Structures are given as structure tokens and as C-alpha cells.
């Protein structure tokens, strides 16, 4: 059997660089080697693409040549180039460019410059099939402010929120410190509009914490979202497919802190998750149906994880956000939800790759 060649991209010029490395390691360990040959390439924090030929060492639990947990430039690695016009990938070899044959790309990239549509547009220009959402849906889901406007127009319930543009050099936040508690009350959650993995998110219970949270969020993104805190369960649902998307059994996050933060998601292991979530049949169906509705509203393809709040008092289901390239680490909920639904991790990767070819055929 002729095996297809999959290029797995990881790293990137994003604050979620290290999460991408962890996700890519898990994907490369789990991918079916009987079906696919794997080529790996990292993107440095400066945005340089380099072929990573030592990727077989992942199975030994190490990433040779990394300045952990970053993929930094290393002398001797071959630079990787994308050539628009349907010409694909090239590597630099002995001062010249050599074609790199790749059948499909799996961009295991999180955050700006990888999950926000920029890379997807470039891959489209190069005529290369790739896993996941296209340019438009990647950009829509990444920008929480735009996504929330679309949810509102579609009548999809969500938490009350405000959207601001803040220059991180702005010293006078007094008007915001007055407006936010007046309109939303306290506590609130403050987050950058264009990041994931809970990077830059803080809960503010008083004016001092609010000012600090606004400054932190503005250091990542000029657009800042402030949401009213709700007493709710955190429910997540995985969606798979492009033509006829399917929703997994939902999961519940039981955070060890005020919310499911970056440390909790990837390092401490203090939070617990329940897969599947303890929901009534009616609640579970509502989550799955709403997840698909949101997925289709943003015109997602391939995969996404849709996050919800389930209000403890009213039972109201509120959409929080959509991740078009959710974490793929060994403890990430996206693959765990599909495992609970009956699709193993290797089979999930296979289905995503098949979906990438289907999308390209439609183009």
C-alpha cells in the first residue's frame, strides 16, 4: 500500500507555541504509521519554518535540539518554504531549493499566525490539502468579539459582555473601571479577543484586580473582551467533519481554580474532567445540537471544540467560544470526548486527514 505523506506543522509565532509542541508530539505518537509517512516541521517564535528530521525521537520522550519548551532556530536544519501557485513546499539544500513532496498538512498550531486563518490562506494559495478550518472560519472563531456578534445576530445565547480596544500604553483606565462594574457588575472575566488556551485571561473581583486584568489582556491584544461571571458548569463538545458534521458526547471541566486556566489545562493536572459529562439526555442533546449550530454558523470545517456554560440556577445553555484547532495533548478534551463517543485517537487523526482531502476535492 502506498502511504500518504503527512506534514505536521507545530510551534509558531504565538504565545501558545509550547502548547502546539505538546499537541504535535501527541499527534505524531498516535498517527497510524501503517497508513501514513510523517514529515515534521517546526515554526520558530520568529516565524521561520524549519524541517525537523529528528521527529522520531518523540517516541523516546525527547525532542532533540529543542530549547525546551520552544522550537528555536538550529544551525544545520533545512529551511522550509511555501511556494504559492500550486507549487507546494520546498527545502533549502546545498544553496538551492528542492521540492518536498507532501500529500497533506496537519497544522497542529494554536493561536495567532497558525489558527487564525493566515496560514490557512497561504496553504490555499499553495494548493495543499490541510486539516481543519479554512481562512474565513479560522479568523471568525479566533476573534472572540466578531464571533460574539455573530452569535447575537443568530439568537444564540451567551454571557453578557463588553468589547473594548485598549492601547497597552494607555495609562488612564478610569473610564473603563467605572463603566464595566456599572454595566456588568463584579466579578468579571477579562480576556484578549484573539488568543486561546486561556492565555491572558483573568478573573477580576474588585477594581484593583480589574485594572490589572485589563492591562494583562491588552498586552496580548488591543481588543479586549470583558464578560459577566456566571455561576455555571463548564461544558465542552467536540465537532468533527465538514460535509455532515457530527458532535461528540459532551465533557465537563471541574477546574481547581476560579476557571480552567492555562496552568490547569496543560501542566498542573489539578483540575478534573468528566467524560462524558453528567447531563440529562435532554441537556446532552441540547449541547450537541447547539455545538453543530455554532459550528455551521461560523462555517467551520474539519474540527472544532465548542465551549459552553450551563447556568446552575436557570439551566440555560450559554455559548462561550469556539476553538478551530483545539489542544491535542494527551490530556486534551477534544480527543478524549471522541474516544468516549467511540472514535479512537488514531482513527480520529485518520478521519481528519480524509476530511482534508475531501475539502480539497470540493475546491
Q: 47-68: per-residue pLDDT in tens?
A: 999 999 876 665 555 554 444 5
pLDDT at residue number 95: 81
Stretches where the chain sits below pLDDT 50 are 64-67, 266, 268
Residue 310 contacts residue 233 (beta carbons within 8 Å) = yes
pLDDT at residue number 331: 81
pLDDT at residue number 57: 60
CA distance 132 to 325: 7
Say if strands 251-254 and 232-240 run parallel, antiparallel, or are unpaired. antiparallel
Cell 516565524 -> residue: 47
CATH number of 161-228: 3.30.1490.20
Residue 215 contacts residue 181 (beta carbons within 8 Å) = no
* 4-130 and 161-228: identical CATH topology: no
Q: Which three cell numbers stand for residue 261?
A: 486556566
pLDDT at residue number 241: 97
Nearest by Cα to 247 from 303, 193, 204: 303
Say if strands 4-11 and 104-107 run parallel, antiparallel, or are unpaired. parallel
For 140-158+230-362, which CATH superfamily applies? ATP-grasp fold, B domain (3.30.470.20)
In sign, the C-alpha dihedral spanning 14, 15, 18, 22 is negative
Residue 329 contacts residue 186 (beta carbons within 8 Å) = no
pLDDT at residue number 272: 86
CATH of 4-130, one of 3.40.440.10, 1.10.8.190, 3.40.50.20, 3.40.50.720: 3.40.50.20
Amino acid at each position: 500500500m502506498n502511504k500518504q505523506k503527512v506534514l505536521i506543522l507545530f510551534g509558531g509565532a504565538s504565545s501558545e507555541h509550547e502548547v502546539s509542541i505538546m499537541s504535535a508530539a501527541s499527534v505524531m505518537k498516535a498517527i497510524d504509521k501503517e497508513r501514513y509517512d510523517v514529515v515534521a516541521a517546526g515554526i520558530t517564535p520568529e516565524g521561520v519554518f524549519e524541517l525537523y528530521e529528528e521527529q522520531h525521537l518523540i517516541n523516546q520522550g525527547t525532542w532533540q535540539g529543542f530549547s525546551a519548551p520552544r522550537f528555536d532556530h538550529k544551525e544545520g536544519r533545512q529551511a522550509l518554504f511555501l511556494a504559492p501557485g500550486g507549487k507546494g513546499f520546498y527545502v533549502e539544500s546545498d544553496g538551492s531549493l528542492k521540492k518536498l513532496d507532501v500529500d497533506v498538512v496537519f497544522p497542529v498550531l494554536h493561536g495567532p499566525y497558525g489558527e487564525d486563518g493566515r496560514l490557512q490562506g497561504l496553504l490555499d494559495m499553495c494548493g495543499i490539502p490541510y486539516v481543519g478550518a479554512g481562512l474565513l472560519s479560522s479568523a471568525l472563531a479566533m476573534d472572540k468579539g466578531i464571533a460574539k456578534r455573530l452569535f447575537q445576530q443568530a439568537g444564540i445565547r451567551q454571557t453578557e459582555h463588553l468589547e473594548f480596544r485598549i492601547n497597552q500604553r494607555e495609562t488612564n483606565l478610569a473610564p473603563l473601571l467605572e463603566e464595566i462594574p456599572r454595566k456588568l457588575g463584579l466579578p468579571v472575566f477579562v480576556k484578549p479577543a484573539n488568543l486561546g488556551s486561556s492565555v491572558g485571561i483573568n478573573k477580576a473581583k474588585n477594581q484593583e484586580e480589574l485594572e490589572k486584568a485589563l492591562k494583562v489582556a491588552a498586552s496580548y491584544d488591543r481588543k479586549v473582551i470583558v464578560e459577566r461571571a456566571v455561576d455555571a458548569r463548564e461544558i465542552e463538545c467536540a465537532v468533527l467533519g465538514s460535509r455532515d458534521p457530527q458532535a461528540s458526547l459532551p465533557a465537563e471541566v471541574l477546574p481547581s481554580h476560579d476557571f480552567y486556566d492555562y496552568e490547569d489545562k496543560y501542566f498542573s493536572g489539578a483540575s478534573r474532567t468528566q467524560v462524558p459529562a453528567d447531563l440529562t439526555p435532554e441537556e446532552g442533546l441540547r449541547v450537541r445540537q447547539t455545538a453543530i449550530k455554532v459550528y455551521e454558523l461560523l462555517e467551520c470545517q474539519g474540527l472544532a471544540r465548542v465551549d459552553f456554560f450551563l447556568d446552575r440556577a436557570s439551566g440555560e445553555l450559554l455559548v462561550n467560544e469556539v476553538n478551530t484547532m483545539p489542544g491535542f495533548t494527551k490530556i486534551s478534551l477534544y480527543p478524549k470526548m471522541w474516544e468516549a463517543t467511540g472514535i479512537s485517537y488514531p482513527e480520529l487523526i485518520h478521519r481528519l486527514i480524509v476530511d482534508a482531502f475531501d475539502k480539497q476535492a470540493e475546491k
